Amino acid sequence: GNQDGTEYIELDHLYIHNVGGGIRTAKNNDLLDTGIVWSGHQFYIHDNYINTTTNEGMYIGTTDSHGSFPIYDVRVYNNKLVNMGYDGIQIRQAHTTVQVHDNYIDGTGRDPCKNGTIDNTAGFNIAKGTDTGDWYDNTVGGARTAVYFENAANVRVYNNLLIDSGHATSGLSGPDCPAGVTSTPPEGAVKFNGATNAKVFNNTIVNPSVSASYGVTVKS
């Protein structure tokens, strides 16, 4: 966690490879656990290459279980991520301007069984507390779920190319996967889980049935 409340940062033209997590910013777990309530502004992440992680490629924002930590003005663009252990790019508790565009993600969920269950496997995880933003002109290939909405609202996903997505239903591998774990039901290229006013349009979904049978799934 960023205990000093870092904000107004720009991360660009970095080559990050063979690490646990690629880029983690505004993830102030330690700060929030002290009872301090704080918000952060301006996180610009662009033109980076992240190759092979154990965890997420980018984890932007703080898990809501640690409290309210809103972030404002998040821009993630022109990044290349290859072979991610968990999600490619996860964004939480983001408000006002959120723009995620022209990113290339190839392979997520290499270790899909975090904590013994299938989780954290998306190309883009548009996560809890995010209530605005545009995800566009991105390419996601080989993700177990290309775009996953989890209790996000008022976001738009458009003009993206989503290729070869879908959870495997058997034979999952990874250091955290117990023997015989399966995905039931399989997830497709786009999954909604508690999303409100989320708009998905003008995307191209190619071969969404690597092992799954759905292009889009909605969890009620």
> Measured between alpha carbons, how far is 59 from 29 in angstroms, rounded to an integer?
12
pLDDT in tens, the chain (220 residues): 344 467 888 999 999 999 888 887 766 555 545 555 567 899 999 999 999 998 899 999 887 655 568 889 999 999 999 999 889 999 999 999 999 999 999 988 776 666 555 667 899 999 988 999 999 999 999 888 899 998 899 999 999 999 988 765 455 556 666 665 655 455 678 888 888 999 999 999 887 665 555 566 665 4
* Eight-class DSSP state of 32: H
* Eight-class DSSP state of 100: E
β-pair partners for 80: 49, 104
Residue 99 CB-density burial (10 A; 0-12 exposed, 13-18 middle, 19+ buried): middle
